[in-house]
Amino acid sequence: MELTEDDIQPQMNRRRPGQSSITTPRNEKDRVMIQSGTEFGVTLGTPIGLVVLNEDQRPKDYGDKTMDLYPRPSHADWTYLEKYGVKASSGGGRSSARETIGRVAAGTIAEKYLKLAYGIEITAFVQSVGSVHLFPPTPEYPTPSQNPAFLELVNTINRETVDKFLPVRCPDEEVTQKMTDYIAGFKERNDSIGGTVTCVIRNLPSGLGEPCFDKLEAELAHAMLSIPATKGFEFGSGFGGCEIPGSIHNDPFIRATDTPATDTGAARTGIPRPKLTTKTNNSGGVQGGISNGAPVYFRTAFKPPATISQAQTTATYDGESEGVLAAKGRHDPCVVPRAVPIVEAMAALVIMDALMQQMARHEARRHLPPLKQTVPPSENGVSMGGN
């Protein structure tokens, strides 16, 4: 596959701090360099090494002495000490959100493949900040998955559109403005606030995800909850779906009319799309842990950042005394706008893994003689049933 730094850098820039006045002003340039695995702009099949130098190291937010005496509240300083028995001067070590830079870099490579070969599109956007929601529950639509406006967004949203709504990345003029003001209020008060990010995966082949323990939603949940500061995950109708009767929640099957995007490998090699799709999509594109070909969508919750400039009372490492901490400088009052490319990257890595597993199975099946009474394997791709 053709691959250069130019394929990777755009998502690095979307993740980078300092994109606007409401995010942290630290300016990490985050230039990525490919160290190995490509030659003349083409991947060699061998591992790809990437390096991003950290040009703007963070000074100790609380001053050295403070960090030595106090574990920061709701940070990982204390748990890292409990786990490893050694206190690194950087506190919670690899729990820093800086670690996500590698995830985004790796994710872009997976994304390029998924787009090129299958036309798969992965787009995340901010769905809520604090109590400001893009699709607040209403009597008519208790969850977004019931709301036609949400489903329309699921079917059409793309990154270009999302980035028109900077700095918050919530794709609605009015709501994004409301969120911007809302976050500014928290910044003003030296406080912070959380939010949720929704991610949509379109043109996914059917058949991805492994039964029982490695269902597609289980792998996605694992990936999302591994991102720092996350508190929850829901897919399809999610928590709201628990409150809808089964008679409404069930997704009836209908004949699919989709055709693959014409400029992708799927079209090039003639992979057919599944014959069926669902009329509603409370399933979020996954049934029994396996993708059904409809758009997959899920939502991830991010807590308010723990580093705030307000004074907080807490205990020393030895528990012997109490003290007051307040972070110096300005900090990110809300992480969700920058979390958008991180969510996209982790989603791409999960899908790439699931696709490789299903590809191996499909390729294995393709070389067998045809069986009577079973669905013939599709000649050219992963989606293979229903023909």
| Binding residues among 217-246 for a second copy as defined by CB under 8 A | 217-226, 228, 230-239, 241-246
65 touches a second copy (CB under 8 A): no
Beta carbon nearer to a second copy, 122 or 208: 208
Q: How far is the CB of 311 from a second copy (least distance, A)?
A: 9
Q: Given candidates 2, 55, 64, 258, which one binds a second copy under the rule CB under 8 A?
A: 2
Please identify, using beta-carbon distances, which residue of 27 and 323 lies nearer to a second copy: 323
The yes or no reply on residue 78 touching a second copy (CB under 8 A) is: yes
Find the binding residues for a second copy in span 255-314 (CB under 8 A). 255-256, 265-266, 268-269, 271, 274-276, 278, 282-284, 286-293, 301-306, 308, 310, 312-314
Q: How many whole angstroms separate alpha carbon 123 and alpha carbon 204?
A: 13
**Residue indicated by tokens 């090129």:** 116
Binding a second copy by CB under 8 A: which of 253, 328, 329, 330? 253
Q: Examine residue 4 and tell whether it contacts a second copy (CB under 8 A).
A: no
For a second copy, the binding residue among 107, 251, 338, 348 (CB under 8 A) is 251
Per CB under 8 A, the list member of 192, 198, 200, 341 interacting with a second copy is: 192
Binding status of residue 144 toward a second copy by CB under 8 A: no
Residue 166 sits at φ, ψ, to 5 deg, of -70, 155
Nearer Cβ to a second copy (174/313): 313
- Cα radius of gyration (the chain): 23
State the DSSP code for 46.
S
Among 9, 43, 158, 161, binds a second copy (CB under 8 A): 43
Query: Counting contacts by CB under 8 A, is residue 362 touching a second copy?
Result: yes
Sign of CA dihedral 303, 306, 309, 313: positive
Nearer to a second copy, 37 or 161 (CB): 37
Residue 384 makes contact with a second copy by CB under 8 A = yes
The alpha-helical segments, DSSP class H, found in the chain are 5-15, 64-69, 77-84, 100-118, 148-156, 159-163, 173-188, 216-225, 238-241, 246-249, 265-268, 336-366
Find the binding residues for a second copy in span 332-351 (CB under 8 A): none
Q: What percent of the chain is helix, strand and coil (3-state, nearest 5)? A: 35, 15, 50
Whole-number Cα distances in Å, 344 to 14, 159, 184, 229, 333 = 11, 10, 26, 16, 21
User: Which residue is it, tokens 């208790």?
Assistant: 142
Q: Any contact of residue 118 with a second copy (CB under 8 A)?
A: yes
Tally DSSP H helices, then E strands, for the chain: 12, 15
Is residue 368 within the footprint of a second copy (CB under 8 A)? yes
Is the CB of 43 or the CB of 158 nearer to a second copy? 43
Q: Residue from 75, 163, 178, 184 that binds a second copy (CB under 8 A)?
A: 75
Number of residues that bind a second copy (CB under 8 A): 156
Asked if residue 184 binds a second copy (CB under 8 A), the reply is no
Backbone phi, psi, residue 12, to 5°: -60, -40
CA dist., res. 250 & res. 4, Å (int) = 45
Among 33, 44, 53, 149, binds a second copy (CB under 8 A): 44
Which of helix, strand or coil describes residue 103? helix
Decide: helix, strand or coil at residue 113: helix
Distance CA 370, CA 365 (A): 9
Q: How far is the CB of 156 from a second copy (least distance, A)?
A: 24
Q: Note whether 250 binds a second copy by CB under 8 A.
A: yes
Which structure tokens are listed for 95?
């729990």
Q: Which helix (H) or strand (E) holds 129?
A: strand 121-129
Q: How far is the CB of 45 from a second copy (least distance, A)?
A: 3
29 scored as a contact of a second copy (CB under 8 A)? no
Regarding 369 and contact with a second copy (CB under 8 A), the answer is: yes
Interface with a second copy in residues 93-112 (CB under 8 A): 93-95, 99
Q: Give the distance, in angstroms, between the CA of residue 3 and the centroid of all CA atoms in the same chain.
A: 22
For residue 1, the minimal CB distance to a second copy (Å) is 5
Binding of residue 330 to a second copy (CB under 8 A): no
Token pair listed for 265: 């490998």
